């Protein structure tokens, strides 16, 4: 299965990706998580990405595209992958099509998670993210068993810099202006499946699996 998850910030892409990647036995590739791991490791890539991410803007395509191409070339992605947060504009979607064409492989589906801005703000204001595995949780909606500790790996939970209110507003604008156009791009390619991102995490997972059948 070669799958893309698309949806606004806070729609639940990372939450559903953990489940879907396990269900289809494919790696979960999140460009946001790769950037955050580089920021944590204080690499050159991390230093470059940080200023864009903290402001809620896209990291330049020249950097992001090469990073993604390298990641999908790893052995674990040979038989499939789930992309979370990539592509994020039409240029990236076109670049991905070229990379896949060179490899003579193609996408199976693009799954869009639909949700309102009001709900996004509730989700992002209470989100906590694991410093080690990147898994999201929520102080009210997905409370960890022990405060401040990741249920999945035991890592420390923190609040992302870009979850501050003013940065969230910019991320929503960037999504509407730059990312939404990829939805019609994939609709024209006949790959788009749309599901509602409201309800329990497990209900949404079930709708995702049904839509992908
Ligand atoms: P990225 O890390 O991809 O962030 P994002 O797309 O803004 O999405 P989020 O991670 O904020 O939300 P999500 O949909 O994963 O929701 P989650 O599951 O956490 O990107 C960050 C930055 O990196 C970008 O702004 C950009 O600067 C850069 N970047 C990344 N990729 C790039 C690219 N391709 N090109 C250029 N730049 C790039 O859920 C949110 C919260 O809701 C959590 O607390 C969760 O517990 C809770 N929740 C989830 N589901 C439910 C539910 N059903 N009910 C109640 N609560 C729920
Ligand atoms: Mg995420």
Task: Report the percent of the chain where pLDDT is more than 90.
Answer: 99
Q: How far is the CA of 14 from the centre of ligand 1 (A)?
A: 6
Query: Maximum Cα–Cα distance for the chain, whole Å?
Result: 47
CATH of span 2-116+179-212: 3.40.50.300
| Mean pLDDT, rounded, for 14-37 | 97
From 17, 32, 71, give the residue whose CB has the most ligand 1 atoms within 8 Å, as the site to mutate: 32
> In which band, very low, low, confident or very high, does the pLDDT at 33 lie, cut at 50, 70 and 90?
very high
Q: What is the average pLDDT value for the chain, to the nearest integer?
A: 97
**Considering the entire predicted model, what is its pTM?**
0.95
Ligand 1 mutation pick, 28, 31, 134, 180, max ligand atoms within 8 A of CB: 31
The model's confidence at residue 20, banded by pLDDT at 50, 70 and 90, is very high
User: How far does CA 171 lie from the centroid of its chain?
Assistant: 13
Q: How far apart are CA 49 and CA 38, in angstroms?
A: 9
Give the Å distances, CA to CA, from 54 to 48, 59, 93, 138, 139: 11, 10, 24, 20, 22
Mind listing the pLDDT tens digit for each residue in 159-199?
Answer: 999 998 889 999 999 999 999 999 999 999 999 999 999 99
The confidence score (pLDDT) of residue 79 equals 96
The ligand with the least distance to the CA atom of 88 is 1
Q: Where are the domains of the chain?
A: 2-116+179-212
Q: Can you give the pLDDT at residue 165?
A: 87
Task: Summarize pLDDT for 70-114 with one digit per residue, the tens.
Answer: 999 999 999 999 999 999 999 999 999 999 999 999 999 999 999
Answer for the pair 11, 113: CB distance below 8 angstroms, yes or no.
yes
Q: What is the rounded end-to-end Cα distance, in angstroms, of the chain?
A: 11
């Amino acid at each position: 299965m070669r799958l893309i998850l698309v949806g606004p910030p806070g729609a639940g892409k990372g939450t559903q990706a953990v489940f879907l990647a396990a269900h289809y036995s494919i790696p979960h590739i999140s460009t946001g998580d790769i950037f955050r791991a580089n920021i944590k490791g204080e690499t050159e890539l991390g230093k470059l990405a940080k200023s864009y991410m903290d402001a809620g803007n896209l990291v330049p395509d020249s950097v992001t595209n090469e990073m993604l191409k390298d990641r999908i070339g790893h052995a674990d992605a040979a038989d499939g992958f789930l992309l979370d947060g990539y592509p994020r504009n039409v240029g990236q979607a076109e670049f991905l099509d070229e990379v896949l064409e060179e490899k003579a492989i193609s996408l199976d589906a693009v799954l869009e998670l639909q949700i309102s801005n009001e709900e996004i703000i509730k989700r992002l204001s209470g989100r906590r993210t694991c410093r080690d595995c990147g898994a999201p949780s929520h102080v009210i909606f997905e409370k960890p068993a022990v405060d401040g500790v990741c249920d999945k790996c035991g890592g420390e939970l923190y609040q992302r810099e870009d979850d501050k209110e003013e940065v969230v507003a910019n991320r929503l604008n960037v999504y509407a202006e730059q990312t939404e156009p990829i939805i019609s791009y994939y609709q024209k390619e006949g790959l788009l499946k749309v599901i509602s991102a409201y309800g329990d995490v497990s209900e949404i997972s079930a709708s995702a699996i049904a839509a992908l059948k």
